[in-house]
Chains A and B, each alone.
Chain A
Amino acid sequence: MEARIILQIQIPWNPNHKFSRRPSLYLPRFFIRASSSTSQKPRSYRGPKPSKNLVADFISRNDDLARSLPIYVGGASLLAVLFNRTVSGIAPVADASSSQSRADLLALGLAVTNLLTGLVWLSIRPKSITPVNPEGVECKVVVSGLPTTIVSELLWAWESFKVATCCKSLVIVYNGICLIQIGMVAESTEDKKGVIVNTDKLMQGSVYQGVMKSKAQSYLANLSLYPGRSELPFLPANTQAVILQPLGDKGIAVIGGNTIRGFTSSDQAWISSIGEKLDATLGRYFIDSAAEVSPEKD
């Protein structure tokens, strides 16, 4: 259908006089079709299609090669200039007397620029850190009794973290209850299932208290260096990075990742925004349910 509409649009611009009478026949049909299509089906997309940028794709895929490319180019041209001099029998003397020497000097200057740029690019290469597979079991524990909207919001938060960051485990504790424990969980030694979150112990620990007092997100970029690691026994033993996001002043979200310094500053900003949203949603639900309960008590 899109092809036919495009054909009908193009016909009025066709310089061939044989079709000069056709536009008056086709245009009304086009408008009639358009008015019927907006009411039933969305009109076909008429806009630019994204074009592939081959250079950008090549460079993003071959980062190392692209970084050292200027070095190879500069080095090869240095050798080429000297080779040119020797082959043509002119003495390789670097003075600016003849125009040949001047051209050679300029080419040498550019070769050196390329060499230096390549070296600078190599020096600013970001260190690539390999992710570490978390040891544990897959787990999905959602506390019962929550309405479906809350559960779907919590699961949406987990899906977003899983897809967009290096997150592999998520635990949300709110109002003294562990609402959700999902992702990779440390395997308990007694049975083969995951370690359940001991909410009271977590809330009395220094990790939780510290985050609640500062009311700010805490990013433990390298968990193995952190002494409070023992207070998070439910996370897999080789979790590399953890973000502790306070949800208002009533809860905390513990997000475990599989790469050291794996959460970028953009990830941190997004996680704190989602934390505020979860706090608003959960806070409203718990206030409503407390208001329902207290009239009964009275």
Chain B
Amino acid sequence: MSIRICNLPFNSSFAPQPRARISSRRSTRVFARTENDTQQQLNLSVLRFTFGIPGLDESYLPRWLGYGFGSLLLLNHFSASVPINEPQLRSEALGLSLAAFSIALPYIGKFLKGSVVEQRTLPEEGEQVFVISSNIGDSLKEDLAWATYVLLRNTSTIAVLVSIQGELCVRGYWNCPDQMSKAQLHDWFKKKVDEIGLADVKETLYFPQYEGSSASWDILPNGTRSLFVQPFVQDINEQQKMNGFLLVASTAGYAYSDKDRAWIGAMAEKFRG
């Protein structure tokens, strides 16, 4: 019975072609199985539950059960009489490895399709900055202002930096010294970006679990967990395209899905020229 539950969803995701080759007698059986499949899927949803306590994430339940049962197993092991026989050792080994697997389950579940994405949190300290270089034309300034606004609104970004031929536009929460004028801030950011050497990056860089890095990267706000750098794609045949890059940072881990990164690449294309 339990094995049938496993097999049905597998069949439903296959292309309809294999079913067409089955003879008519078996095809009715296949139909019955798909009907059963929807019913089984409906029944499975009954297993989902919630305690109703706000802020309590039930997807972490296997982890807590793993910790709890694992510690009970260890307690049982140490409170047993000393000559522990082999079958018990085997059970305990099995139990402990199951506990370890249960603890890892929420981490695995994060990578499945359709999992809930972490929300961004705004940094407590620091304030928002908005700096645009004064060496660029008005229409480009407008485009930059719009693009940075859209990136901050439509993705879980909290800090964005666009560099076009060395001229910067910086927006969001950054770890920069206050009491600086806009021009001074721009030069300060430019110096920091040069130190890191971001203009030399050739392909996209995505850090979904950013832990903090060397001294030059301290311009990023505290609590940055995801970082994505999209350089403007260079083509040898197209000489008149601009070079530069686009950097976005977020306080949520795994913040930029494939789709988000595709859209950010589209934004970078706009400034390439």
Contact = CB atoms under 8 A, between A and B. Distances in A.
Nearest to B43: A123
Interface in A130-171: 130, 156, 159-160, 163-164
A84 B87 contact: yes
A141 B91 CA distance: 71
B2, B85, B113 pick with most chain A CB within 10 angstroms? B113
Contacts of B2: 71, 75, 115
B127 interface: no
A99 B79 contact: yes
Contact of A110 (B80, B102, B217): B102
Interface residues of B, number: 77
Contacts of A49: 205
Interface stretch (B168-176, B178-186, B194-202): B194-202
A16 B224 CA distance: 38
A126 B72 contact: no
A45 interface: yes
A72 B3 CA distance: 9
Contacts of B41: 122-123
A197 B209 CA distance: 48
Given A68-B6, A75-B2, A163 B260 contact: no
B263 A160 contact: yes
Interface stretch (A55-63, A201-209, A213-221, A247-255): A55-63
Contacts, number: 204
B207 A113 contact: no
Interface string B186-225: 0000000011111111000111110001101100000000
A106 B150 contact: no
Contact of B48 (A45, A74, A120): A120
A99 B90 CA distance: 13
Contacts of A102: 76
Classify the interface of chain B: helix, strand, loop or mixed.
helix
B5, B76, B260, B265 pick with most chain A CB within 10 angstroms? B76
Nearest to B206: A50
Interface in B64-85: 65-66, 69, 72-73, 76-77, 79-81, 84-85
Interface residues of A, number: 72
A100 B196 contact: no
Given A77-B94, A88-B86, A110-B98, A63 B265 contact: no
Nearest to B104: A55
B260 to A, nearest CB: 7
Q: Which 10 A-B pairs have the closest CB atoms?
A: A160-B266, A88-B87, A42-B199, A123-B44, A107-B95, A99-B80, A164-B262, A110-B98, A59-B111, A126-B114
16 contacts: A42-B200, A43-B200, A45-B200, A45-B201, A46-B214, A59-B112, A60-B113, A73-B101, A74-B98, A103-B92, A103-B95, A106-B95, A107-B91, A113-B62, A117-B62, A164-B259
Given A74-B98, A99-B77, 12 more contacts: A71-B2, A87-B87, A99-B81, A103-B95, A109-B69, A114-B62, A119-B44, A119-B47, A128-B13, A160-B263, A264-B259, A269-B154
